[in-house]
Amino acid sequence: RGRHSIVKQCREKSSGRLLATKIIPYRPEKKQMVLREFEILKQLQHTNIVQLCGAFLSPRHLALVMELCAGKEALKSLAARAFYSELEIRELLRQVLCAVEYLHENCILHLDLRSENVIVMDDSMVKILDFGSAQVYSPDIPALFQAPLWVLSPLAPETLEEGRGAVPPTDIWAVGVLTFIMLSAEYPFGSDMPCDMEKDIKKGRIRFGRCYAGLSGGAISFLKSSLCPNPWGRLSASECLSLPWLQSPPEAVPQQAAVHFSTTKLKSFVKDREKRMSLLKTKHSMTIPRQDSRSEKTAKHG
């Protein structure tokens, strides 16, 4: 179950292929906002982005039929191991940033690049999911941004200030937060109190002392750039991909003995995050009405 939807597994009759269906309820006045996700997804075709296969519209629901991305979210994928290294994080990030680069080239902001929406499949392929918050971006007009009700990750400073909105560097901030967590098993800012955290975010008070020992200079440099409080001080996705630290193959960076991190701390972080999210979801629970299949109309089918 997502923030405003439920996801179910289905099977394509003609081929027997397993797919995923995201069912999104809506009220008539919210129809255009809900259809925005469909309009964005149908434009996208990238190895690291979930592929839309079809869509169906009824007076009360939109059903998006997509490829089934079987795997674990980024943090749980790492936590399932005994150890992981900076090299593995770099490969994951490279795929995420390739997807973000593609989105920004097509004037689309994802605006919800949390671990839960970054799936690592069994073959280590990364897929970006959930475009429910995504928006088309115009260089002259920052995108309006509404923080999801039960997101725990620190929000980008530009989205915290009245009169400002989301821009491409907002997605880079989210990638930076995810990277920091993978390299520390903690959030990058000091307080759980919203008002104190906002002050830390706006002033760029990143708690680098929380990071694992033995990180490379390239990793620390990436964190400093992606978590810069000034959005235009962050590197673009293309610039990030050109950093020696993220170059592929690994020979592009100086060789060093791989430092392995135990997942004990990350397991605790994920468990605590699940508890906190469960409490927030209970507080902001939403009932999904039953779907009237007789009134379905096809919006698109591929």
pLDDT confidence of residue 213: 94
List the chain residues with pLDDT less than 70.
Answer: 1-4, 147-152, 163, 191-195, 248-257, 281, 283-302
pLDDT confidence of residue 249: 58
pLDDT confidence of residue 141: 77
Condensed to tens digits (0 to 9), the pLDDT of residues 109-138 reads 999 999 999 999 988 999 999 999 999 998
pLDDT confidence of residue 28: 86
Q: Are 119 and 20 within 8 A, CB to CB?
A: no
pLDDT confidence of residue 191: 67
- pTM as predicted: 0.88
pLDDT confidence of residue 30: 83
Domains of the chain from N-terminus onward: 71-278 (1.10.510.10)
